[in-house]
Amino acid sequence: MATLKPPTNTHRSSSSSHSSGPPKAPLKADATATIADTVVFQGTYPVTIGAGTVVHPRARFYAYEGPIYIGDSCIICEKAVIGAAPSPSSRSPSPSRTADPNITSSESGTGTDLKKEAATRISYFVTVGPLSTIEPGAHVHSSASIEALAIIRRGADIGSHSKVCSGVEIAASGPVGEWVVVWGSGPGQRRKRARGAKAMSPAVVGAAQISQAPLPAPAPEGRVIEDARLMVLQKEREVLGRMLVPAAGGKKK
Amino acid sequence: MSRPFPYTYISCPCADTPVPDPARKRRSRESPQKSPQKPPPERANLSAEDRKEPTDSEQHEEDEEEEQTFDPRSPRSNFSLYPPEQLLYCEECHQIKCPRCITEEIVSWFCPSCLFETPSSMVRSDGNRCGRNCFNCPVCTAPLAVSTIENATGNGAQQGPWVLSCGYCLWTTLDIGIKFDKPTNIRSQLQKMTDSTAQPTLDRSRQASRTFGDLKSPLSTFASIDEQSAAREQDGEQSASQEPEAPPMGTDARFAALKSFYRAQIAETSASPNDPLSTDFGFSSPGALNRLMSLYASSSRLSGLYGGSKKPKSKPPVMREAITASEGLQLAPENGDEDLIKRITSPSCGWDGMASTAQRAAQSPDARFTDDLLPLPVLLRTKRAKRCKSCKHILVKPETKPQSTRFRIRLIALSYIPLPTLRPLALSTSSTLPTIAPTPDLNSLPPLRPVHVLLTLKNHMFDPVRITLATPPVTPGNVATKVTVLSPQFEIGANSDVWDEALQGASAPLKGDATMSGMRGVPEAGKVWDKGRNWTTVVLEVVPGTLPGSSAEGGDGNGEGDEGILAVAGQNADEDVLEIPVFVRMDWDADAQLEQGNIGKGSKPDDKVTRELAYWMVLGVGRIQPSL
């Protein structure tokens, strides 16, 4: 995604009144959010960023088709694209239009319902990996993670505690349930994660039956893994916040 | 032939002599003396008009002498052509060795994940999988990490249950309800959990089958299953007392039980005293066939003769099948299929709950759902030594240690034969700066227009080498491309120290032509194009032939390459590829070694021996345009 960046003063003013260049999206960020310098906010609809969220440099928010809500304690990695850049037909060509063909093609396909407002929602504790794309109207529920280069098409719904592995593309308005891992390539394969305590593998049960040994003690619930992951995520965010602050030169007012 | 143009391949001579024998050594050494002395030097210098005429006769000659022109299009040559880098060289046979004429032997087994070397005895007993902590995810095959649960949740030190977890698809052993007590030796922990052939079990089942076998030993003379089962019912109380309590066996245990059962059956039936023929033949011996034949002959003939009223006395015993669970019999459950289907259709399973064929491939055959999948220990890899097939000389021997990437012995062919590289000469030969002039597009060579190609041979030996190149004047196949090597005989300097050249000036290694600087410019017959310390470049003049059928479609094919090429390729795949077979004969004066065999053709006084090596190589120049 080689992009032509506008000068880095883009996100600085939430209520920007620059007449030249693409419109600045009105930004409403929590005081505890960490937003890097070079993040791009464009569009006409507001962008809301929750408390404790970390936005890496060169992430891009395009609020042309609807507002963008980012919940608390999320991590938006570098060069992630949330929303869609304006299509050349509907807008005057902006210098910062993304070169991603996926976006522009789907944009032109759905050019008719641009009037409709499509809110993009990302709930709390979500990780959005580098270079991933979340198109307008998608809804990512809490504690989900979108890995690098994944593409979430319009109107897709990613359930909580789910994971979209890198490079996977979730089809438009495609649902992904809770506690599901979508892995592989293209549309990907799906797998349910262990949430509660799972029954012991039949191989183990059978073996124990034969050898008439007592069954091994039951394993804890699968949830503990997720708890651990979220805890690590929390730590990562804290460290990131510290690292990004000097570069960002101050958080949002 | 998927390399980009231009490419070079070298043909391993083993294609002509598939059976490794000493005779082949002699032949391959003789052959170069014959062929290059015949036509190539003069032939290459023939002028264009009289080139046509002698071609046919020469080819006839060649055919008769079984020293045929190598045809890169023949189906067989696919198997003998290799990129120069892939070839080895046997110093004993003095011959190029391709992957087909070497044998491999395993030097060491190691786990690619932990680089731990596994002794081969352990590989034989435990299978070729890592015996320590290395596992792959059964769902997505990513490597699994051992991690603790307690520590992650924050309460406690480094102990507590441990799990294997996949960083990619977030699979953990908690998905199948397994945790480990120690972070080490996971494989044995897992084996203890899942091994259905655990020691007590195995003993018990074996004992059971043995006692059962003892019990049945008088029954082994029963002639048929019916009688046997009837008899079994008689003493059913003994076996019935065993059966119900016998637990369902695991796959491994069942296999072991069946194996021991059938072994016992073979022993009993073949060593039966009633069988006159097979007293000392087992099933695994060729006598088994005799026994079977006699079985058929006796039963049919005897019953025919005596009307079947009289039972043949010596009816041989028949092997029976396993009939109890302890022998390894497993009955399909009453409504197992329905249960399966119910489980598949249940919302908790669905399509995503089914294990894919890729996932099931390495699992137990009973595993159908993702919940049945067990983590897979990492497959081991090997380091291999390579030997010459004909003389057993070691060609490649890596260091045993998995961490080391070095080789103790590595005789690659490129240190013995010159490395050929090919590049097109700029179109305008009159230009003084050939590199600036446009080079022809190798993917669409215009037919009937001469192209000059530079062939550079780079010597890696420490002796200067004399090279003779020979090509058939017209390439074999349907597309007759004329090829001329402008200077078929030349020398390549030794691969001496780079500093030698610098220190001694340009005199010593470059004793070729004094007019070297003037050679640039026009390719001239009989002169090498360029020459360096250990390399020499010669010019090949190539006149691509016309493709068959291209004259018919020549009208519309106005430089529109793609369709034309497709059309031609449809007729005969890759017929437009211009490949030139070149016979290379090299000879050099090597230091005489202890064992010289029968080489010494022109052995020199100062312990120098003239060595020769000859082989075919194929130069892939480009694709011919379908039309002008």
End-to-end CA distance of chain A: 31
Domain assignment of residue B109, yes or no: no
Q: What tokens appear for A196 in the block?
A: 């509660």
Most confident stretch, B252-266, B274-288, B501-515, B587-601:
B252-266
Q: What is the pTM of this model?
A: 0.66
Q: Are residues B419 and B493 in the same domain?
A: yes
Q: Which residues of B touch A198 (CB under 8 A)?
A: 174-177, 371
- A202, A216, A225 member nearest B172 (Cβ): A225
Measure the CA angle with vertex B41, ends B35 and B47; round to 5°: 130
How many Å apart are CA B369 and CA B343, to the nearest integer?
9
Range of weakest confidence among A218-227, B255-264, B282-291, B511-520? B511-520
**What pLDDT sits at residue A120?**
93
- Note whether A206 contacts B165, CB cutoff 8 Å: no
Q: Are residues B350 and B281 in the same domain?
A: no
Give per-residue burial for B151-170: e unless 16+ CB within 10 Å, then b: ebeeeeeeebbbbbbbebbb
**What pLDDT sits at residue B346?**
86
Nearest CA of chain A to the CA of B190: how many Å?
Answer: 9
Domain assignment of residue B101, yes or no: no
- Note whether A210 contacts B247, CB cutoff 8 Å: yes
- Note whether A191 contacts B161, CB cutoff 8 Å: no
Domain limit, last residue, from B327, B357, B389: B327
What is chain B's mean pLDDT, rounded?
Answer: 71
Decide: helix, strand or coil at residue B11.
strand
Q: Are residues B152 and B236 in the same domain?
A: no
Q: How far is CA B14 from the centre of its chain?
A: 16
Nearest CA of chain A to the CA of B201: how many Å?
Answer: 5
Nearest CA of chain B to the CA of A230: how many Å?
Answer: 10
Q: Which residue of A has its CA nearest to B152?
A: A228
Q: Are residues B434 and B369 in the same domain?
A: no
Domain assignment of residue B368, yes or no: yes
Domain assignment of residue B17, yes or no: yes
- B468 at interface of A, judged by CB pairs closer than 8 A: no
Q: Please write the tens of the pLDDT for every residue from B421-433.
A: 888 876 544 444 4
Nearest CA of chain A to the CA of B63: how many Å?
Answer: 55
Q: Please write the tens of the pLDDT for every residue from A140-160.
A: 999 999 999 999 999 999 999
Domain assignment of residue B105, yes or no: no
**What pLDDT sits at residue A106?**
41
Domain assignment of residue B392, yes or no: no
Q: Are residues B18 and B49 in the same domain?
A: yes
User: Where exactly are the structural domains of chain A?
Assistant: 27-248
How much is the average pLDDT of B578-595?
78
Q: Are residues B265 and B370 in the same domain?
A: no
Q: Which residues of B touch A190 (CB under 8 A)?
A: 352
Q: Which residue of A has its CA nearest to B245?
A: A210
- B195 at interface of A, judged by CB pairs closer than 8 A: yes
- Note whether A200 contacts B178, CB cutoff 8 Å: yes
Which ranges of A27-98 would DSSP assign to H, the alpha helix? none
Q: Which residue of B has its CA nearest to A233?
A: B152
Range of weakest confidence among B19-23, B157-161, B424-428, B605-609? B19-23
Domain limit, last residue, from B327, B342, B364: B327
How many Å apart are CA B531 and CA B513, to the nearest integer?
9
Count the domains in chain B. Answer: 3
- B198 at interface of A, judged by CB pairs closer than 8 A: yes
Q: Are residues B310 and B351 in the same domain?
A: no
Q: Are residues B33 and B168 in the same domain?
A: no
**What pLDDT sits at residue A72?**
92
How much is the average pLDDT of B440-445?
76
- A194, A210, A224 member nearest B149 (Cβ): A224
- Note whether A183 contacts B250, CB cutoff 8 Å: no
Most confident stretch, A168-172, A237-241, B320-324, B338-342:
A168-172
pLDDT tops 50 at residue B223: no
How much is the average pLDDT of B363-373?
84
Count the alpha carbons within 13 Å of A82 in the hemisphere toward its beta carbon: 37
**What pLDDT sits at residue B156?**
52
**What pLDDT sits at residue A164?**
93
Q: Are residues B475 and B574 in the same domain?
A: yes
How many Å apart are CA B387 and CA B579, to the nearest integer?
31
pLDDT tens digits in sequence order for chain A, 253 residues long: 444 444 444 444 444 444 567 888 899 999 889 998 899 999 999 999 999 999 999 999 999 999 999 999 999 999 999 999 887 655 444 444 444 444 444 444 444 444 568 899 999 999 999 999 999 999 999 999 999 999 999 999 999 999 999 999 999 988 998 889 999 888 888 888 877 777 777 777 777 776 677 777 777 777 888 888 888 889 988 888 888 765 444 444 4
- Note whether A220 contacts B168, CB cutoff 8 Å: no
Domain assignment of residue B28, yes or no: yes
- B139 at interface of A, judged by CB pairs closer than 8 A: yes
Q: Which residues of A touch B328 (CB under 8 A)?
A: none
What is chain A's mean pLDDT, rounded?
Answer: 78
DSSP string covering A127-175: EE-TT-EE-TT-EE-TT-EE-TT-EE-TT-EEPTT-EE-TTBEEPTT-E
Domain assignment of residue B125, yes or no: no
pLDDT tops 70 at residue B331: yes
How many Å apart are CA B417 and CA B459, to the nearest integer?
7
- B555 at interface of A, judged by CB pairs closer than 8 A: no
Q: Are residues B444 and B548 in the same domain?
A: yes
Fold for A27-248, please state it.
Answer: UDP N-Acetylglucosamine Acyltransferase; domain 1 (2.160.10)
Q: Which residues of B touch A191 (CB under 8 A)?
A: 139, 169, 171, 352, 370
Q: Please write the tens of the pLDDT for every residue from B21-80.
A: 444 444 444 444 444 333 333 333 434 444 444 444 444 444 444 456 777 777 777 788
Q: Please write the tens of the pLDDT for every residue from B402-415.
A: 888 899 988 888 88
Q: Are residues B472 and B540 in the same domain?
A: yes
| Sequence-ordered list of residues with C-beta below 8 angstroms from that of B344, at least 6 positions apart, any chain | B350, B353, B354
- B154, B250, B370 member nearest A207 (Cβ): B250
Domain range holding B177? Answer: 131-194+334-377
Question: Mutation test of the interface with chain B: which of A211, A215, A226, choosing the one with the most B Cβ atoms within 10 A?
Answer: A211
Q: Which residues of B touch A163 (CB under 8 A)?
A: 169-170
- Note whether B175 contacts A199, CB cutoff 8 Å: no
